[in-house]
Structures are given as structure tokens and as C-alpha cells.
Amino acid sequence: MSYYEPPVSFARISPNNMELKNVIKLEGEGKLSIMPDLATVTIGIMTENKSVVAAQQENASRTTKVLETLKTFGVLDRNIQTINYLIQPIVQYIDGKSINQGFQVTHLLEITVKDIESVGSIYDIAINAGANISKSLNYKVDNPSLHYHQALENALKNAQAKAVKLAKYLRVSVNLIPIKIIEQDQQVIPFDQPVYSFQAEQSTQVQPREVQITAKISAFFVYNEWNS
């Protein structure tokens, strides 16, 4: 004996409410895998010094050089954002006592890259200019709603296919035009990976990964029982 695993519910709605009698609710899911046309690169500059002021000044100087180099490469100001700036003490524990060894300053930058082919070059020039933190690489789709509509259509087709199979199994007829559709939250799952290259002795080769877009719906279909 086989069982149908996806969630299914049948409802007999009261005629007193002037509503339809037989309704089946089915879940539909549609997925698309899209090659990204956008990437965000997170890099950073970390400096250490016994003086917090000196650590800040060195960090500011190196950050300025990185920013100027990126702009020379063609990265626009609006595509560079500071996402974290942190000052913290460097503490060493000796014989149960904490001894302050100085201060660490970290400045993280997120760079939006619209030319996917240049992602590797962005890493190279940033590291050569003084960046010493390579945090993450996130691939995205610039306008996911365009692709989401196709995923939504696929979700409806998925629900309709389930309705056809169940109708055949239960010996009922079903109207494949839903009387109601409830759209669930859309999902756009970017590919995110850590990057740990701290030297640019060789050209960085980066291969983009697909972005998954998912649409989910609940569709309500009217069915009629066959007469014996």
C-alpha cells in the first residue's frame, strides 16, 4: 500500500453559508536555480598596537588606501559600506591574571560587485592594498522578483499535478482552477561561503554558484464525487 505524504485536507463547507461543498487544499512548491548577477564581498583591515590611538590611526591609514584602490578599480562609493568597526583590548592571562597587551582595531567593509567576473580581482587588489581579513562572499540575484513569478507559476502547477493524481486515486473530478490561493513567504537563498585567502601572490579564481528561489502556495480546488 502506498501513501501520499504531502499535507492534504478536505473540507465539506456548509451550504447554509452559500459556499461550495467539496474543497481540497493542497500545498504547491516551485523552485528555480538562477546564476547570480550580483555579489557582496566582505573584507577588512585589522591592526594591533599597545596604544589604542596608534592602532586606530594605522587602521584608518590602511583603510583609506584600500578604499582609494577600490575606487581606482571602478568600484563606486555607494557600493562600499562599513558593516562593522570594532575596538577591543588584547588580553593575555598569566597565572590567572589578565594583562592588557594592547588594542585591536577591526574595520569590515562590504563591497557590492555587479560584474561577477571581477570578484577575484576585487579580492586581489584589496589584499594588495592592505586588507588582511577576507570574511565572506555572497552571491545574489539583483532583481529576484522577476524570477520569483516563474517559481510561483511552478508552485501552482505543482499543486495542480497533486490534485490530478489525488482525484484519480479517489475517483472524483476536480476543477484545476483554484477558488483560492494563499501565497506563503518567498525564499531567495543566496550562496554564501567563507573566504580565507590573505595573500595575493596568485590571481584569485572564484567560481559563482547558483541562487535558489522558492515559491510556496496553498491552493483550494473544488472536487465532485462521481455518481455510481
Q: What is the pLDDT of residues 62-98, one digit of tens each?
A: 999 999 999 999 999 999 999 999 999 998 888 888 8
- Residue 123 domain-assigned (yes or no): yes
pLDDT at 202 over 80: no
- Can you list the alpha helix ranges (DSSP code H) found in the chain? 52-73, 119-129, 144-170
The answer on 64 and 48 residing in a single domain is yes
Its domain, for residue 209, covers: 8-35+148-225
Q: Which pLDDT belongs to residue 30?
A: 94
Q: What percent of the chain has pLDDT over 70?
A: 80
- Residue 3 domain-assigned (yes or no): no
How big is the chain by its Cα radius of gyration, in Å?
A: 28
pLDDT bucket at 188, cuts 50 / 70 / 90: low
Record the cell numbers describing residue 123, joined without a space: 579580492
What digits encode the pLDDT tens for the residues 156-173? 999 999 999 999 998 999
Q: Which pLDDT belongs to residue 43?
A: 95
- Residue 172 domain-assigned (yes or no): yes
- Residue 218 domain-assigned (yes or no): yes
The answer on 121 and 43 residing in a single domain is yes
Strand ranges of the sheet holding 191-194, from the earlier edge strand across to the other edge: 80-94, 97-113, 38-49, 133-140, 191-194
The tally of CA atoms less than 13 A away on the side-chain side of residue 140 is 15
Q: Which pLDDT belongs to residue 19?
A: 52
The answer on 107 and 161 residing in a single domain is no
Q: Which pLDDT belongs to residue 102?
A: 94
Cα 143 from chain centre: 13
The answer on 132 and 182 residing in a single domain is no
pLDDT at 3 over 50: no
Record the cell numbers describing residue 156, joined without a space: 501552482
Rounded distance between C-alpha atoms, residue 219 and residue 24, angstroms: 8
Neighbours of 227 (CB within 10 A): 4
The answer on 30 and 46 residing in a single domain is no
Cα 28 from chain centre: 22
